[in-house]
C-alpha cells in the first residue's frame, strides 16, 4: 500500500497502524515534503519506529513528479541511510540528457545504500513503454530498472503489451483499486515474466481511508486467489 492514501496529511504512526490492521505488510512511501518531512532526521527516526511498531516493511520510496530541486529527490533517497529500502522510484523528466544525468546521479548515490533506482514515466508523458526501455538500455550506464503504473498503461490502451515490453527491467509495480483492468490476464502476465516484487496499491481515498483500505484488502485477497490458481 502506498502512503499516498494519506498524502493530504502529515504521515503519522496511526496511518501506518491502520494500513497494517487491514492485513498489509509492505508499504511504499510517497515522498512529498508536505506528507513526510524527510529532510528532518528526527522525522525519519520516528518513521523507522512507526514502521517497526506496525510490523511493516518499507519496500520502496516514490519521489513525486516535479520535485522542486534535484536535492529533494536525493534527500528522499537518503531515508535509506536509516531505514532499509529496496527500490527508489523516480520519473524521467525534462530533456533526455537532463533525465539521464539526474537518474545516473541518483543511481550513484543509491548503490552503497543497497537501493535500486526504478525509472517511471512522468504522469503527463504520453510516450510508449518502449521508450523507457530504450532509455534504460541505451542512455544509462548505471544498473537501473523500470517502474510501471498499471492505471496509466491501461488508459494508454494496452497494459499486457506494456508489461511484456518492460519485462526484463521491471522492478516496481503500482496498481489502482478501481479500474477496468482485466486482472486475470494482467496477473497471469506478471507471473509469466517472473516479476516477484510487490504490487503496490496507489490510491486516493474516496470516503474515509479506512473504507478505502477495506476495499483494497478485498481486492488484494481476490488477486491472491488469482495468483495461486494459475
Number of structural domains, the chain?
1
d(CA 125, CA 103): 17
How much is the pTM? 0.94
Residues 28-59: tens digit of each pLDDT: 999 999 999 999 999 999 999 999 999 999 99
Label residue 168 left, alpha or beta by phi (over 0 means left) and psi (-120 to 50 means alpha).
alpha
Band of the pLDDT at 123, cuts 50, 70, 90?
confident
Examine the pLDDT at 87 and tell me if it is beyond 60: yes
d(CA 110, CA 131): 23
Q: Which comes out higher in pLDDT, residue 70 or 120?
A: 120
Q: How far apart are the first and last CA of the chain?
A: 24
Q: Give all strands of the β-sheet with 26-30 in edge-to-edge order.
A: 26-30, 57-62, 87-92, 116-121, 145-149, 170-175, 199-201
The CATH number that applies at residue 108 is 3.20.20.150
C-alpha cell at 63: 519521489
Whether the Cβ atoms of residue 201 and residue 216 lie closer than 8 Å to each other: yes
Task: Please choose, from the candidates 148, 112, 109, the residue with its C-alpha nearest in 3D space to the C-alpha of residue 132.
Answer: 148
Beta-carbon contacts of residue 85 (< 8 Å; ≥ 6 apart): 58, 59, 60, 61, 79, 113, 115
Residues 159-215: tens digit of each pLDDT: 999 999 999 999 999 999 988 999 999 999 999 999 999 999 999 877 799 999 999
Domain that holds residue 96: 3-229
> What is the mean predicted confidence (pLDDT) over 129-145?
91
Amino acid at each position: 500500500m502506498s502512503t499516498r492514501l494519506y498524502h493530504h496529511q502529515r504521515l503519522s504512526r496511526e496511518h501506518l497502524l491502520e494500513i497494517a490492521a487491514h492485513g498489509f505488510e509492505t508499504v511504499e512511501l510517497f515522498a512529498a515534503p508536505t506528507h513526510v518531512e524527510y529532510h528532518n532526521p528526527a522525522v525519519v527516526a520516528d518513521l523507522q519506529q512507526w514502521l517497526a511498531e506496525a510490523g511493516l516493511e518499507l519496500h520502496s520510496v516514490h519521489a513525486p513528479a516535479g520535485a522542486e530541486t534535484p536535492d529533494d529527490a536525493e534527500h528522499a533517497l537518503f531515508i535509506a541511510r536509516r531505514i532499509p529500502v529496496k527500490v527508489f522510484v523516480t520519473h524521467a523528466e525534462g530533456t533526455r540528457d537532463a533525465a539521464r544525468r539526474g537518474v545516473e546521479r541518483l543511481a550513484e548515490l543509491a548503490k552503497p545504500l543497497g537501493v535500486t533506482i526504478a525509472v517511471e514515466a512522468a504522469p503527463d508523458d504520453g510516450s510508449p513503454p518502449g521508450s523507457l526501455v530504450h532509455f534504460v538500455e541505451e542512455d544509462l550506464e548505471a544498473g537501473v530498472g523500470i517502474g510501471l503504473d498499471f492505471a496509466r498503461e491501461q488508459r494508454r490502451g494496452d497494459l499486457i503489451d506494456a508489461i511484456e515490453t518492460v519485462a526484463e527491467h521491471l522492478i516496481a509495480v503500482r496498481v489502482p483499486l478501481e479500474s477496468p483492468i482485466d486482472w486475470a490476464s494482467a496477473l497471469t502476465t506478471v507471473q509469466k515474466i517472473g516479476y516477484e516484487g510487490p504490487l503496490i496499491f496507489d490510491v486516493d481515498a474516496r470516503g474515509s481511508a479506512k473504507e478505502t483500505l477495506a476495499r483494497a484488502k478485498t481486492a488484494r485477497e481476490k488477486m491472491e486467489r488469482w495468483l495461486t490458481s494459475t
